[in-house]
Amino acid sequence: MARSDAKVLISGESGSGKEVVARAIHAQSDRADRAFVPVNCAGIPETLLESELFGHMKGSFTGAYRDKPGKLELADSGTVFLDEIGEMTLRMQGLLLRFLETGELQKVGADRALGIVDVRVISATNRKLEDLIVQGQFRDDLF
pLDDT tens for 72-92 read 999 999 999 999 999 999 999
pLDDT tens for 91-107 read 999 999 999 999 999 88
From residue 125, how far is each of 2, 58, 75, 85 by CA, in Å? 19, 33, 20, 6
pLDDT tens for 40-50 read 999 998 888 99
Can you name the residues that pair with 56 across neighbouring β-strands?
Answer: 68, 108
Q: How many CB atoms lie within 10 A of CB 106?
A: 19
By CB neighbour count within 10 A (0-12 exposed, 13-18 middle, 19+ buried), where does 141 fall? exposed
